[in-house]
Amino acid sequence: MTAVPKTQKAVVFYKNGGPLKYETIPVPVPKANEILIHVLYSGVCHTDLHAWRGDWALPTKLPLVGGHEGAGIVVAKGSEVKNFEIGDYAGIKWLYSCCMGCEYCVQGAEPNCPDGEYSGYSHDGSFQQYATADATQAAHISKDAKMDNVAPILCAGVTTYKALKTAELRPGQWVAISGAGGGLGSMAVQYAVAMGLRVLAIDGGAAKGDLVRKLGAEAYVDFTKSKDVVKEVQKITHGGAHGVINVSVSEQAINQSMEYVRILGKIVLVGMPAHAKITTDVFSHVFKCDQIRGSCVGNREDTAEALDFFDRGLISSPVKVVGLSELEEVFKLMQEGQVVGRYVLDTSR
Ligand code: NAD
Ligand code: ZN
Ligand code: ZN
């Protein structure tokens, strides 16, 4: 085994929306509860873009190393760590740590812990070559996993798998996935197919249409071409989608889902456009008896289950691999809605 270096490459920003600096910084030293992961690949999630821009009411740590889809190898560990050995494959996910003792943690709702800390947000994340992770929350990755491919499972996979569980749909029912051609959406399509659901994918442009069809979507609605997304969804699904997974970064798209959801349907909110609000007709919700539910990443069990689908070959990440130094360019494409699937950063370049 090679020794852990003292310094490393990372992408750091010092103020929200400020320059993304590819620079040399110290390798962090793991605390008693932490493992040190040599991050080989990190996915780029739209949450990383929100964090950099400072889109949400929740402030980020500054300076910050973003990233929360990191896949790598354990190279050091703190004195209290019993569940990881040096050489194990481990993953950095959004939830860095939670208290494990509050009423929400006790129920297994770990991402809802009021004392949660977040990788790449309140704790330096995976846009660096060596990152620390709380050993309780770090994901265990199989030694057979292809590391660039498994990285997006750690947020996009877990989140959409959990969102689909939250929708409580039955095999054969229609699920509309809004934002289906992006990072989360391309995972949602595959988990939904694996669960026996019929997928109606919504996104913009031919490239995203090709991708979602390849991943198993039965129908595609192109919001840039459709004259009326609501009517089109209702027509294809003969009365509206039984469930909706909202992973777009569009307030308008989220509001449309309130209308095209079927009677008794479930609308799951996942994407978080800055300052977005839902405005919807109370009368219609009462008569339809539909349900709006929020879904935030997943707990350790969801993580293990989402990884198990991946290990069994049911999910493949549509990734484009570029260097860590190219993060700024990836953010630019993401902001323009040009990312088809997921970009993954190779931390060695
Ligand atoms: P992404 O940029 O890869 O994908 C978003 C997709 O939405 C794009 O393909 C875009 O073309 C599409 N889109 C834009 N306008 C649309 C419209 N009107 N109708 C349909 N589709 C439209 O982003 P991502 O990484 O998949 O993340 C999506 C969102 O989910 C972000 O807001 C992110 O912060 C959030 N997120 C939430 C959780 C959670 O736990 N709730 C976890 C991870 C990410
Ligand atoms: Zn994410
Ligand atoms: Zn807690």
131 within ligand 1 shell (Cβ under 6 A) = no
66 and 178 part of one domain:
no
Answer positive or negative: Cα dihedral of 145, 149, 155, 160: negative
Number of H helices, E strands in the chain: 11, 17
Does 211 score more than 90 pLDDT?
Answer: yes
176 within ligand 1 shell (Cβ under 6 A) = no
* C-beta of residue 157 within 8 angstroms of C-beta of residue 321: no
70 and 138 part of one domain:
yes
For residue 1, tell me if it sits in a domain: no
Count of structural domains, the chain: 2
Cα of 186 vs centre of ligand 2, distance in Å, is 13
Q: What does the pLDDT look like over 231-265, one tens digit per residue? A: 999 999 999 999 999 999 999 999 999 999 999 99
The 10 Å CB-count burial string (b at 16+, else e) for 308-329 is: ebbeeeebebbbeebebebbee
12 and 146 part of one domain:
yes
Cα of 167 vs centre of ligand 3, distance in Å, is 24
Full domain range(s) for residue 75: 7-154+298-346
159 within ligand 1 shell (Cβ under 6 A) = yes
Question: Facing residues of 91 across strands?
Answer: 71, 139
The residues placing their C-beta within 5 Å of ligand 2, an ion, are: 45, 47, 155
Q: What does the pLDDT look like over 29-53, one tens digit per residue? A: 999 999 999 999 999 999 999 999 9
Q: What SS3 state is found at 240?
A: coil
312 and 182 part of one domain:
no
Q: What SS3 state is found at 280?
A: coil
For residue 338, tell me if it sits in a domain: yes
23 and 145 part of one domain:
yes
93 and 149 part of one domain:
yes
103 and 236 part of one domain:
no
209 within ligand 1 shell (Cβ under 6 A) = no
Q: How confident is residue 130, by pLDDT bands cut at 50, 70 and 90?
A: very high
Q: What does the pLDDT look like over 302-326, one tens digit per residue? A: 999 999 999 999 999 999 999 999 9
Cα of 106 vs centre of ligand 3, distance in Å, is 7
Q: What does the pLDDT look like over 139-198, one tens digit per residue? A: 999 999 999 999 999 999 999 999 999 999 999 999 999 999 999 999 999 999 999 999
198 and 79 part of one domain:
no
pLDDT of amino acid 92: 98
Q: What SS3 state is found at 284?
A: helix
Report the Cα–Cα distance between both ends of the chain, in Å, rounded: 21
Ligand closest to Cα of 331 equals 1
The residues placing their C-beta within 5 Å of ligand 3, an ion, are: 98-99, 102, 105, 113
247 and 128 part of one domain:
no
202 within ligand 1 shell (Cβ under 6 A) = yes
For residue 2, tell me if it sits in a domain: no
Please give the Cα distance from 327 to 48 (Å, whole number): 10
Q: Under the phi-then-psi rule, with left for phi > 0, alpha for psi from -120 to 50, and beta for the rest, what region is 146?
A: beta
C-alpha separations of 211 from 159, 214, 219, 278, 339 in Å:
20, 5, 12, 29, 11
Token duo for residue 158: 């877990």
Domain boundary among 294, 320, 335: 294
Cα of 156 vs centre of ligand 2, distance in Å, is 6
339 within ligand 1 shell (Cβ under 6 A) = yes
37 and 106 part of one domain:
yes
Q: What SS3 state is found at 102?
A: coil
For 257, counting Cβ atoms within 10 Å of its Cβ (0-12 exposed, 13-18 middle, 19+ buried), the class is buried
Q: How confident is residue 1, by pLDDT bands cut at 50, 70 and 90?
A: low
* C-beta of residue 202 within 8 angstroms of C-beta of residue 177: yes
For residue 288, tell me if it sits in a domain: yes
Tell me which amino acid residue 316 is: S
Tell me which amino acid residue 306 is: A
Average pLDDT for 102-131: 98
Token duo for residue 112: 């809802």
37 and 148 part of one domain:
yes
20 and 134 part of one domain:
yes
Hey, which bits of the chain come out as E strands?
Answer: 7-12, 21-26, 34-43, 70-77, 89-92, 95-97, 117-118, 130-134, 139-141, 174-178, 198-203, 219-222, 241-246, 261-269, 291-294, 319-323, 342-346
